[in-house]
Amino acid sequence: MLQDRFNSAAAYMASPAAKKLSLPSSTKLALYADYKLATEGLCTQPRPSLLEFEKSAKWKAWKETGERYVKELSNDAKNTTSSTTSTNNSNHHQLKDTPQLTLPIKAMISYVQRVEEGQWGWHFDSTVEASQSSTTGDHDLDELEAYLGVDKDELSAEELLARPYVPTQGEIPGAAMTASGISTLAFTTDSEETGNDPMESSKSGSLEGLQSALRANPDLVSFRDDMGFTMLHWACDRGSLDKVRALVETYHADVNAQDAEGATPLHCASLSGWPDIIEYLKSLPNVDQTIRDNSGMIADECLED
Amino acid sequence: MNAPADVQEKLRALLHQMALNSGSANGKEPKSMEEHKFWKTQPVVKHDEVVDEDGAIEPDVPLDQVRATPYPLPKEFEWSLVNVEDDKEIKELYELLTLNYVEDDDAMFRFDYSAEFLKWALLPPGWKKSWHIGVRVASNKKLVAFISGIPQDVRVHNNVKRMVEINFLCIHKKLRSKRLAPVLIKEVTRRTHLEGIFQAVYTAGVVLPKPMATCRYFHRSLNPKKLVETGFSQLGRNMTMARLIKLYKMQTQTNTPGLRPMEEKDVKAVSTLMNKYMSHFNLAPHFGEEDVRHWLITRPGVVWGYVVEDPETKEITDFFSFYSLPSTVINHTTHSTLNAAYCFYYAVQIPDEELSKIADVSEREAARDKAIKDRLTGLMQDALILARQNDFDVFNALNLMDNSLFIDDLKFGPGDGYLHFYLYNWRCREVESKKVGLVML
């Protein structure tokens, strides 16, 4: 139960071990305020003399934290009561009367969280320290209720559902924790591939990228890499009809160029199985469909099934 | 004067911790902190904990001390069990998952478990309706969140425990600010306790406290062109599509003599074969005949199960299976679905008698691997061929069980995804990926 955890944390913070921690005064004041709010409620004492620095600071922390919590609690209450009331439907099990968070519980939660997150050496052992008064048998129900109760989201579920989805920055797929993220093939870049590749724009990227590369250096259209591939071979292999058309129609690429293995652009398109490119190339008057590669095959015999 | 490196490291950690704490004071803590806060309250192994003896973290809860009523939800939501046998309700569940379930890091793919698959996954022998837990918006009854459990006997090292396998935790994308996941987890835990089960097993792609095993995904391209087109894989700069296609080209017919679809009459033999094979692993399910019948006999479009019947002795010597888990290709002009087959359970015969003569453990393991490698590789080659025949684009496997024996030879490539295995309320020594024998859907 929360009360047990709070008692245990408070006892620890009063122990000699905790006294040695030399915590910053802001942390001590925050703990003090939560402790007072949890055990005595809001501050009703008169303001101490301003010359009593320590007393003043404590009084201020207690007073102001209390006021802030009250405000937050009333905002939460407004949010929950203004949400749509449901029609009763016997098919769906429904829970009513979600318990409201109270000031002492809110302060206790805050106190326990501070002590937990400070990692000052406090550990709670529920089997030893749980009080006999625990009635629900559920030690963290209070915290769970509070966890839900302090939702600052002012939009109702219906309003949220009606809005377009905008992923939040750095959203962790925590709402789907039980499955793996989908794995895709890891891409390892070859270390020797990092240099400038004059053919790059024919392999990947946009049509505009190819056009600007060729405007900058029109000779690229007849350049051959170490496989004997021209840009047109690459565009036919990778399957970009737009690039094939531009290379043929604007830059007059050689449609019958043969690579080191004797393959023409039509062979490439056939091997990769791009029907739209095959059809386009075959429609060109100067394409020679009878060219055989070094293994003796014409393009049609290479068709990917 | 410079502080020693470890002091500096501690300081950095402390500063980081303080930054997170000050963030939590104004209620705007990062999501990871929120999750961390929740898991801190749960009986799971902590990140810095080293386990050398297995056992429950918390004692079993007597039935009269289990909370009798569902945990409270924020007012605008209500609990609603999903009737998986009902066509209308399974469709609602399918729609929730297909639009809101797991995606890859770059949001190119999202799991698209079919309705038939969900029925198979959620209605195994001993399934419980009370473990198909939905959350609806109270006003309009729209299904917006789900979590499920199925019962399964699981052996971890030497302990066999009745556990619940938790899966399909999903919250509508637009409602992720509502922090429903912890309540769903607590509610399924409560309902598990009501059935007298106190341990759970679950997997996730994310790191939570604390993985008891971690496996990596491997992918075997079956339709390389489509995989490149959809962005599932990428072509190296000097790799041609034509060469890629050639590299992954396969025979069209299977090779193993006696290979045939598993039938009802094989259930007993497969159960024996499987449990014997599974004894090698440190995290493994125990399948009864009912389980084998449910999980391993072919269901069109869902799961494929094959056995090898020795043509002479008629003995069942091996089996393998794979299941279908397609992904939606998000915002693609020509492809809408990626058809992925996932390696499921399999078993081959182990020459136990000969192996038992080898005294040294590592020598014995090496001899075991050597004895089964070729047979298993041949079987999985046939699995790939059958998957291709059934129009799958890719065949996925984790590096668990004996998968490492065939993934290189059969041209699997490493994936960018990992799968972490977790146990709830069971502290155990960590398990190497090759000693994991549990496959979760």
Kindly report, residue by residue over A78-118, the tens digit of the pLDDT: 655 444 333 333 333 333 333 456 788 888 888 888 887 77
Q: So what's the pLDDT on residue B206?
A: 85
Cβ neighbours, 10 Å, residue A248? 21
Q: Which of A93-97, A236-240, A272-276, B64-68 has the lowest average pLDDT?
A: A93-97
| Interface test mutation site (partner A, options B97, B240, B333, max chain A beta carbons within 10 A) | B240
Residue A137: pLDDT above 50?
no
Tokens read off for B102 = 């797991």
Scan for tokens 């010597």, then name that residue: B317
Distance between CA B82 and CA A281 in Å, rounded?
56
Helix runs in B264-417, H state only: 267-278, 289-296, 352-355, 361-389
In chain A the domains, ranked by start, together with CATH numbers, are 1-80+99-125+138-153 (1.20.80.10), 199-302 (1.25.40.20)
What is the residue-wise DSSP string for B192-224?
A: HHHTT---EEEEESS--S--SEEEEEEEEESSH
A119 token code pair: 């990692």
- Does residue B47 sit in helix, strand or coil? coil
pLDDT band at residue B197, thresholds of 50, 70 and 90?
very high
Contact check, Cβ <8 Å, B417/A182 = yes
Amino acid at A232: L
At A196, the amino acid letter reads N
Cβ within 8 Å of A, B 241-260: 241-242, 245-246
A151 with B178: Cβ contact below 8 A: yes
Angle CA(A15)–CA(A18)–CA(A22) in degrees, nearest 5? 140
Q: Is B411 left (phi over 0), alpha (psi -120 to 50) or beta?
A: left
What integer best gives the mean pLDDT of chain B?
91
Q: How large is the average pLDDT for residues B155-184?
A: 93
According to the model, what pLDDT value does residue B189 have? 96
Structure tokens at B130: 């009370």
* CA gap A34, A54 in Å, rounded: 17
Percentage of the residues of chain A whose pLDDT score is greater than 90: 39
Residue A110 tokens, joined: 């805050």
Q: How many A/B residue pairs have CB atoms within 8 Å?
A: 263
Domains of chain B: 42-203 (3.40.630.30), 213-435 (3.40.630.30)
Q: Cα(B377)–Cα(B383) distance, rounded to whole angstroms?
A: 10
pLDDT digits (tens, 9 = 90+) for A150-203: 444 456 777 778 777 766 544 444 444 444 578 888 876 554 454 578 899 999
Q: Is A192 part of the contact surface with chain B (CB cutoff 8 Å)?
A: no
Rounded distance between C-alpha atoms, residue B315 and residue B272, angstroms: 12
Between these two residues, A162 and B216, which has the higher pLDDT value? B216
Average pLDDT over residues B268-285: 97
Comparing C-alpha atoms, which of A74, A71, A59 is closest to residue A29? A59
Residues of chain A by 3-state class (helix, strand, coil), percent to 5: 50, 0, 45
In B296-335, the residues whose Cβ lies within 8 Å of chain A are 327
**B24-38, B243-257, B288-302: the lowest-pLDDT one:** B24-38
Residues in chain A closer than 8 A to B103 (CB atoms): 173, 181-182
- Per CB-CB distance under 8 Å, the chain B contacts of A182 are 102-104, 109-111, 327, 417
